[in-house]
Amino acid sequence: MNNLLRWGILSTARINRRIIPPIREDSRSELIGVGGRNQTRTGKFADRWKIDRRYASYEALLSDPEINTVYIPLPNSMHCEWVIRAAQAGKNILCEKPLGLSVEEIDQMVAAARENGVVLLEAMAYRMHPQYAGLRELLNNDLIGKIRLIRAQFSFTLPDGDGNIRWSKELGGGVLLDVGCYPISFARGVAGSLPVGVSASQVIGPTGVDVISASQLLFPGGLIAELDCSFVLPFGVRAEVVGERGVLRIPNPWQPDIDGKSSGL
C-alpha cells in the first residue's frame, strides 16, 4: 500500500503501551521501530513489544527513510524541538498533548509542518471518538436550543515524589498543560470560536507547577465556560453543555470506551 503509515516512536515512554496495539490492529499502519537515548532501555522495550528496529538516538530514527510517520510522547518541553526536526526529516507527526508550551512554539511547529508538506496532529483522542461526533450532531440539530453555559473538569490525585515529570517545571509540567487542555479544547470545540474574555486562578505547588487551575471563558454571544482541573483533588471528570431548552451531559468525556473497553490511561 502506497499510503501505508510506517510508524516510528520517539522514546520508550509509558504511554506507548496505549498506542502500539492500535497501530498493529490498523490495516493502514505498520510499526517499524522505536528510538531512545538509553540503548539498554530501548532494547528491552523493543524486545518486550517485539519491535524489530531499535535506534540509539531520536536522530537515527528520523534518518530511516522507511519511516514516514512518527509518534512523539516526549516531555512537554521537548515537543517543539522534535516536532520541528521530524517535520524537517519529512515525517508526518502525531505529538502528545499539549502540542506546545506557548503560542510561539505552536507557530514554529505549524510553520515547519507546512514548509515540509507533512501532517501535524495533536494527540487529543477524545475529539476523534464517535461520542464527540454524536455531541456535535446533537448541537448542530439544535436539540437543547441556544447554548448558554459549558462546564468541564478533569481532576485526579497525582502521588508525590514518584519522579513523575508532571511535577517538573523545567520539563513543562503542571496540571493545566497535562489535563487542563481537555476542558479547554472541549469548550473551544463546542463554542466554535475564540473567547473574548478570560479570567483564571491557580494554586502553585511546592515544585513550582500549578496543581489546581480554574478558569472562566466568555465567548461571543454570551456563552460562558467554567473549567477546572487538579493534581490534588479526588478523581473527577465532567463535560456538560447547557442550552435554553436542555442539558447534554457526556459520560466519561476524556477517555471514552472503545468497543466496551475503557481507553483510560
Could you list the active site residues?
97
* Euclidean distance between CA atoms 103 and 216, whole angstroms: 20
189, with CB counted inside 10 A (0-12, 13-18, 19+), is middle
Residue 54, all three cell numbers = 531499535
Helices (H), the chain: 16-25, 39-48, 58-62, 79-88, 103-116, 130-140, 175, 181-191
N-term to C-term CA, the chain: 32
Strands in 53-55's sheet, in edge-to-edge order, are 53-55, 29-35, 5-10, 69-72, 92-96, 120-123
Q: Are 4 and 60 in contact (CB under 8 A)?
A: no
Minimal CA–CA distance to 85: which of 73, 70, 96? Answer: 70
Farthest-apart Cα atoms in the chain, separation:
59
Amino acid at 214: A
Strand partners, 219: 223
Q: How many CB atoms neighbour CB 185 within 10 A? A: 18
* Euclidean distance between CA atoms 44 and 50, whole angstroms: 10
